[in-house]
A and B are shown apart, each in its own frame.
Chain A
Amino acid sequence: MTWVNAVIQGVMLGGLYALFACGLSLMFGVMKVINLAHGDLAVVAAYVALGVVAITHVPTVWSFVLVVPIFGVLGYVLQRTLLQSALNRSVLTTLLVTFGLSVVIENGLQQFLSANSKSLNIGSLVSDSFSIGSQITIAYLDLVILAVAVVILLGLQYFLSASKNGRMIRAVADDREAAQLSGIDHRHVFGIAAAIAFGTVALAGIAFGMYTQFDPTTGSSQLLLYAFEAVVIGGLGSLWGTLAGGILLGVAQQIGAQFHASDQILAGQLVFLAILVLRPRGITSRGELA
Chain B
Amino acid sequence: MTAVHAASPLLEVRDLSVHHGQLQALRNVSLQLPAGATHAMIGANGAGKSTLLRTIAGLHQPSTGSVLLDGEDVTRLRPERRVRAGIALVPEGRRLFPSLTLEENLLVGSSSARKGPWTTERIYELFGWMRDRRGQRAAQLSGGEQQAVAIGRALAANPRVLLLDELSLGLAPVVVRRIYGLLPELAAAGVTILLVEQDVSQALAVAAEVHCLLEGRITLAGPPAALTAEQIEAAYFGVAASGNDTSPGPVPASPSGPAPVDQLPGAST
Please determine whether B57 and A183 come into contact, CB atoms closer than 8 angstroms. Answer: no
**A227 nearest CB across to chain B (Å):** 24
Among B93-101, B227-235, B238-246, which stretch is in contact with chain A? B93-101
Please determine whether A181 and B111 come into contact, CB atoms closer than 8 angstroms. Answer: no
Classify chain B's interface size. Answer: 20 to 34
Please determine whether A181 and B97 come into contact, CB atoms closer than 8 angstroms. Answer: no
Interface 0/1 of A265-290, CB less than 8 Å to B: 00000000000000000000000111
Among A89-97, A123-131, A148-156, A168-176, which stretch is in contact with chain B? A168-176
C-alpha gap A175/B95 in the complex (Å)? 7
C-alpha gap A177/B97 in the complex (Å)? 10
Please determine whether A180 and B96 come into contact, CB atoms closer than 8 angstroms. Answer: no
Q: Which residues of A contact B112 (CB under 8 A)?
A: 182-184
C-alpha gap A179/B109 in the complex (Å)? 8
**A192 nearest CB across to chain B (Å):** 13
Please determine whether B99 and A288 come into contact, CB atoms closer than 8 angstroms. Answer: yes
C-alpha gap A255/B96 in the complex (Å)? 45
**B137 nearest CB across to chain A (Å):** 10
With A164-B111, A171-B97, A288-B99 known as contacts, the answer to whether A178 contacts B83 (CB < 8 A) is no
Contacting A174 at CB < 8 Å: which of B78, B88, B100, B154?
B100
Please determine whether A183 and B157 come into contact, CB atoms closer than 8 angstroms. Answer: yes
Contacting A170 at CB < 8 Å: which of B83, B89, B95, B99?
B99
Contacting B157 at CB < 8 Å: which of A170, A174, A182, A289?
A182
Q: Which residue of A lies closest to B96 (CB)?
A: A178
Please determine whether B111 and A177 come into contact, CB atoms closer than 8 angstroms. Answer: no
**B203 nearest CB across to chain A (Å):** 22
Q: Which residue of A lies closest to B104 (CB)?
A: A167
Q: Which residue of B lies closest to A186 (CB)?
A: B80
Contacting A181 at CB < 8 Å: which of B91, B98, B100, B107?
B91
Please determine whether A177 and B104 come into contact, CB atoms closer than 8 angstroms. Answer: no
Please determine whether B99 and A182 come into contact, CB atoms closer than 8 angstroms. Answer: no
Interface 0/1 of A173-203, CB less than 8 Å to B: 1110111111111100000000000000000
Please determine whether B108 and A168 come into contact, CB atoms closer than 8 angstroms. Answer: yes
Q: Which residue of B lies closest to A287 (CB)?
A: B99
With A167-B104, A171-B97, A185-B78 known as contacts, the answer to whether A180 contacts B84 (CB < 8 A) is no
Question: B59 interface residue, CB < 8 Å from A?
Answer: yes
Please determine whether A178 and B100 come into contact, CB atoms closer than 8 angstroms. Answer: no
Interface 0/1 of B43-80, CB less than 8 Å to A: 00000000000000111000000000000000000111
C-alpha gap A164/B107 in the complex (Å)? 9
**B99 nearest CB across to chain A (Å):** 5
Q: Residues on A close to B: CB < 8 A?
A: 164, 167-168, 170-171, 173-175, 177-186, 288-290
Q: Residues on B close to A: CB < 8 A?
A: 57-59, 78-80, 83-84, 88-89, 91, 95-100, 104, 107-109, 111-113, 153-154, 157
Q: What would 7 more interface pairs be, CB under 8 Å, given A170-B97, A178-B96? A: A178-B95, A180-B59, A182-B153, A183-B84, A183-B157, A184-B112, A290-B99
15 A/B residue pairs, CB under 8 Å, sorted by A? A164-B111, A167-B100, A167-B111, A170-B97, A170-B100, A175-B97, A178-B96, A178-B97, A179-B97, A180-B78, A181-B57, A182-B80, A183-B84, A183-B113, A184-B108
